[in-house]
Amino acid sequence: MKKSWFIITGLIVVIAAIFLIGCNNQGVGPIPQDLITSEKLWKDQGLKNYDFTLERQAFAPEDWRGPVNIQVRNGVAVSVTYVSSGAVVTEGKFDNVDTIEKLFTILKNAYVGKGDFEQKAYSIEVTYNPQMGYPATFFIDVSQMIADEEQGYTVTNFVAR
């Protein structure tokens, strides 16, 4: 009797754990209103020429993290250089984040599981610049169950041109 009670209790614990893991891995909800509002604020300004510094927080080599200075002209990045040395970034290391529009795209893709994201992110933390709307900082954790897949970005030194 004790042995069967122990087995049944163990099975209940295992089933409950599987259920909870499944429930916790549903990812973030739909694209939130603050992202939509901030992106509209950004777009309403019509800025096509600007500079900013970007730093990536990720489990990656230093040359993939930056920080880098980015110059955008007519909506396209024309210069990406390392802050530390002034050297030009090679191999497209920042191609997917070299404009504010691309940063918004990464955020939206993380919410819906599209582009670089095979699934909805588990959690996303974002702060937006209150005057201009661009994402000032954001951190994306794709999966609670995987280590070192998280990525974060910080935008500083923004200057409209």
Cβ(70)–Cβ(98) under 8 Å?
yes
Of 126, 71, 74, 79, nearest to 104 by C-alpha is: 126
Kindly list the strands in the beta sheet with 50-58, ordered across the sheet, starting from the edge strand earlier in the chain.
76-82, 68-73, 50-58, 151-160, 135-141, 123-128
Q: How confident is the model at residue 137 (pLDDT cuts 50, 70, 90)?
A: very high
The burial class, CB within 10 Å (0-12 / 13-18 / 19+), for 47 is: middle
Cβ-based neighbour number of residue 20 at 10 Å: 10
Max Cα-Cα span within the chain = 78
Q: How confident is the model at residue 144 (pLDDT cuts 50, 70, 90)?
A: low
User: How far apart are alpha carbons 143 and 42 in whole angstroms?
Assistant: 29
User: How far apart are alpha carbons 98 and 96 in whole angstroms?
Assistant: 6
pLDDT at 23: 40
| Least confident among 18-22, 42-46, 114-118 | 18-22
> Which is more confident, 16 or 85?
85
Share of the chain above pLDDT 90, in %: 63
Share of the chain above pLDDT 70, in %: 79
- What are the pLDDT digits (tens) for 82-129? 999 999 998 899 999 999 999 999 999 999 988 777 788 899 999 999
Q: Return mean pLDDT, the chain.
A: 84
Tell me if residue 158 falls in helix, strand or coil: strand
What pairs with residue 123 in β-bridges?
Answer: 141
For residue 120, the one-letter residue type is K
Is this model's pTM higher than 0.85 or not?
no
pLDDT at 90: 87
Of 140, 70, 53, nearest to 105 by C-alpha is: 140
